[in-house]
Amino acid sequence: MPLPLLALMLGVFCVGTAEVVIAGILPEMSADLDVSVPTVGLLVTGYALGVTIGGPIITLLTTKWARKALLLGLMGIFIAGNLVAALAPDYATLMGARVFTSLSHGTFAAVAWHVAALMSPPDKQATAMAKIALGFNFANVLGSPIGTFIGQQFGWRATFVFITAFALVCVLLIQRFVPSGLSTEDEGAAEVSGSVRQQLKVFRKGSLQLSMLITVLAQGAVFTTSTYLAPLLRDVGGFSAPMVGVLLIVFGVGSVLGNILGGKAADKNVMRGVLGAQAALLGALLLFWGASPYTVPAIIALFVFGAAGFSIIPALQARILAVASAAPALALSANVSAFNLGNGLGAWLGGTTIDLGLGVRAVTLTAALATTVALALSLLMWARTRRESPELPALDASTADVALSRKAS
């Protein structure tokens, strides 16, 4: 991986770890802060709401900032928030620190994706964005377990100290390897560098609205099943609790592979990448439903589900970049919010399925239904746009020169 993309990916890994690590240290935080476990769990909700609401707003307000300066500034907010969290004397201060930290999350991810695209040739932009999205994969596979171990061994505050220290390393890497000179002017979108009203006009496009709805449904389908993987594997597959931990690594490896393959497919043709990823997800969910009671087939199906589920991320982000070239960072940030809404929708759909008495195995069928709706909408979108160019927006020549000269050095 080129060093500029590696620096951005590690930054995304850092913010992704900060979002999910709370789940592993809930008991320690509950005991130390003298609040219930569900109350501590609201720290996750508060963070997610901050990402969903604050991301597009922060992105909109910083649209004229040079991309590198914005990335460094967002990491500064992230570091300050996690440092306050590590020192928080009570629950209220910790919640405030979490919400403050979350304001950097959506915009950082969106700008990182956008900068990765700017530094890449048009036929490699989706792959570049997939490499950035690997940060979120590794946050779940590595960051959360490491943060949980640190919190259990040295106290939950040490987890936030670890995240803060890693973020400082990311700042140094971004400062060293991400090229300067990437700004709205470099992107060749002169009309975008004007007013807020001009930025918001991008959301009038029906294709963008439909793309974001598809993101919510497709991501919701993934989380309908992934949220309940542990009971699905234990109660339906008959795996032991320690074995479930191993199988989650299998799922994580599949997610990394799927992320890469999804980016490569979208590089060749964005809409075919979107349709292919969702068709693969639908097939994987049906396979998982059929294979879940059987040991070896269940393991294979779990791997396939991980690959298919995470192949949708670069494909959907590439589609957003293709239809919102007038305000790419803002649209990508809004799509990060759509992913978070999908996470919440999926968890609710899976829980509702179980509460209705259909059993935990049925969450795969509920997810398949959501995927079917998303796929149908994608086919509708493809029918409406089949005459458009499938390629992503080309780089501005000056930006390409900056990126290429940086790579040469």
What is the reported pLDDT for 223? 82
Which helix H or strand E contains 99, and what residues bound it? helix 91-118
What is the reported pLDDT for 400? 39
CB atoms within 10 A of CB 226: 23
Q: Provide the mean pLDDT of the chain.
A: 82
What is the reported pLDDT for 198? 65
| Coil/strand/helix, residue 407 | helix
CA distance 269 to 213: 20
CA distance 82 to 103: 12
| Coil/strand/helix, residue 48 | helix
- In order of their start, the domains of the chain are 3-183 (1.20.1250.20), 200-385 (1.20.1250.20)
What is the reported pLDDT for 404? 38
What is the reported pLDDT for 90? 93
What is the reported pLDDT for 134? 86
CA distance 110 to 332: 5
What is the reported pLDDT for 365? 95
- Per-block mean pLDDT, blocks of 10 residues, the chain (409 long): 90 90 80 84 80 85 85 96 95 94 90 85 80 85 84 92 96 92 48 56 75 89 83 87 80 87 83 89 95 93 92 83 72 80 82 86 94 91 65 40 41
What is the reported pLDDT for 282? 96
| Coil/strand/helix, residue 327 | coil
